[in-house]
Amino acid sequence: MRIGAVVLAGGRSERLGRPKQLLPWDSRTLIETVIDEVCRTPSLTAVVVVLRLEVAEQLGVQPGESLGCARVVLPEAENEGCAASYRSGLTALGDSRLDGVVIVLGDQPGLRAETIEQVVKVWSASGAPLAATRYRDGEGHPLVFGKELFGELVALRGEKAAWKLVDRYRDRVLWVEFDEPMPRDIDTEEDYRAVREAWEGRARTEGCLLTRLPEREKGGVGDRREGNAE
């Protein structure tokens, strides 16, 4: 199956007061760290990241260029909420002939490639129209939507758009269970400090920094089947 991914990072970070995508993280930025993890997911065919123009420029990329394996796209309408990012992401992936798309949050550095891969694999074998992740402490990302729901996904408006579909089709959702805490979002300075401390503590416990990919490359949408994803 051909599975794409949309990394949602087009918000204004109003609660933080500065672009959360650019927060320092292990000698890189927060969004680069999240993209690195997404790019480590073997089952993904193509990846896009939705960023506001000023954030992309501070990262040294323009729309259409790549940050890691992810092609940078702008939110369709910056004042509309996350639904505009879904539309931009799916439009950018539209020529990839996808069977499904994974939705990943750009402010969850604790999300691991292994988690994304497990959700994709379970969903791919299930025939379910969508999958969601259930942790010890709640429901969260990644989410996976089959192509039969792409039209409904891009038609949504406002915030929490994807969860509207989860609620609409709750009796058909495939829940993939993980016996671990949900990765914490970073919305405030307090969140940043807490998640950062947990990250550094994990690195110390493992005896090394967490794995990082090589520096980002320029190019189009990463497609592992065509050999240009890395």
d(CA 174, CA 170): 9
Closest CA to 3 of 185, 143, 137: 143
Question: How far is Cα 227 from Cα 210, in angstroms, rounded to an integer?
Answer: 25
User: Packing angle between helix 113-124 and helix 30-39, nearest 10 degrees?
Assistant: 40
Residues contacting 32, CB < 8 A, separation 6+: 25, 59, 67, 68, 216
Give dist(CA 228, CA 224) in Å, integer: 6
- Report which of residues 22 and 154 the model is more confident about: 22
Summarize pLDDT for 161-177 with one digit per residue, the tens: 789 999 999 999 999 99
Compute the average pLDDT of residues 34-45.
97
Which of 60-74, 133-147, 206-220 shows the lowest per-residue confidence on average (mean pLDDT)?
Answer: 206-220
pLDDT confidence of 203, banded at 50, 70, 90?
low
